[in-house]
Amino acid sequence: FRLRPVAGLLSSRDFLAGLAFRVFHSTQYIRHGSKPTYTPEPDVCHELLGHVPLFADHSFAQFSQEIGLASLGAPDEYIEKLATVYWFTVEFGLCKQGSAIKAYGAGLLSSFGELKYCKTDTPKLQPFDPEKTSLQKYPITEYQPVYFVAESFEDAKEKVGKFAATIPRPFSVRYNPYTQSIEVLDNTQQLSNLAGCIHSELGKLCEALKKLE
Ligand SMILES: [Fe+2]
């Protein structure tokens, strides 16, 4: 993932599209010194303390990109749903780790105040389910009344993948890491290229497995 500076608020469609290309649009200004524990708007503390460390986690980075890929060419109503899923995961997500529930959302990691609050009995905790999560309303200038708890990043990624498959669009997309571009899988040539890539990767896998025997 790369950070790209942005001067103001992007539309949900533009912001999510960036994630598909492994680009995270980032603010550069800093919160007011009189309110260090919470900021209603993202600031550079939020970006650098909240978002950046998690992009170093392979599984989480992929999860973020999945949401972005799902947004490409999606109808407006689904962009809103994906933006809501993003809000309750990447921004304010909680996740199980063993028997503990931990915060991973950047909005929580960059807000000392809300981080303490989310572990109190006041907010409601619900299991992460994109179908339901995507319909949840939320305030943007105060602590969240509801949080969604994922079983794991892998589980959340799988659920978002299944949810994305229900988005009506006439094509599938794939990120090509070699060219850092998006391929639209809507013709036999593209599918045959993809099959070639999978074949080559499988060859490497088989070779490595043999060496382990
Ligand atoms: Fe954020």
Give the pLDDT confidence score for residue 43 in this predicted structure: 84
What is the per-residue DSSP string for the chain?
-EEEE-SSPPPHHHHHHHHHTTEEEE------TT-TT--SS--HHIIIIIIHHHHTSHHHHHHHHHHHHHHTT--HHHHHHHHHHHIIIIIT-EEEETTEEEE--HHHHT-HHHHHHTTSSSSEEEE--HHHHTT----SSS--SEEEEES-HHHHHHHHHHHHHTS--S-EEEEETTTTEEEEE-SHHHHHHHHHHHHHHHHHHHHHHHHH-
Give the pLDDT confidence score for residue 75 in this predicted structure: 93
CA of 87 to the centre of ligand 1 (A): 8
Distance CA 150, CA 172 (A): 26
CA of 64 to the centre of ligand 1 (A): 12
- The one-digit pLDDT tens for each residue of the chain (213 residues) are 999 999 878 899 999 999 999 999 998 888 888 887 777 778 888 899 899 999 998 888 999 999 999 999 999 999 999 999 999 999 999 999 988 999 999 999 988 889 999 999 999 999 999 999 999 999 988 899 999 999 988 888 889 889 988 999 888 899 988 889 999 988 898 899 889 989 999 999 999 999 998
The reply to whether 12 belongs to the active site is: no
Contacts of 119 (CB under 8 A, 6+ apart): 101, 103
The strand pairing partners of 96, in sequence order, are 101
Give the pLDDT confidence score for residue 213 in this predicted structure: 86
CA of 107 to the centre of ligand 1 (A): 6
> Which residues are known binding-site members for Fe cation?
46, 51, 91
> Which residues are known binding-site members?
46, 51, 91
Give the pLDDT confidence score for residue 111 in this predicted structure: 86
For the four alpha carbons of 149, 87, 64 and 46, in that order, the dihedral sign comes to negative
The reply to whether 207 belongs to the active site is: no
CA of 104 to the centre of ligand 1 (A): 12
Q: Tell me the residue type at 181.
A: S
Q: For residue 157, report the phi and psi dihedrals to the nearest 5 degrees.
A: -65, -45
Distance CA 166, CA 159 (A): 11
Q: Which residue has the tokens 């105060």?
A: 142
CA of 109 to the centre of ligand 1 (A): 10
The reply to whether 91 belongs to the active site is: yes
The reply to whether 51 belongs to the active site is: yes
Q: Which of 12, 25, 26, 46 is catalytic?
A: 46
Cβ–Cβ under 8 Å, residues 128 and 150:
yes
Q: Which of 47, 91, 111, 114 is catalytic?
A: 91
Residues whose CB is under 5 A from ligand 1 (ion)?
42, 106
Q: Sort 183 into a burial class: Cβ within 10 Å, 0-12 / 13-18 / 19+.
A: middle
Q: Tell me the residue type at 137.
A: K
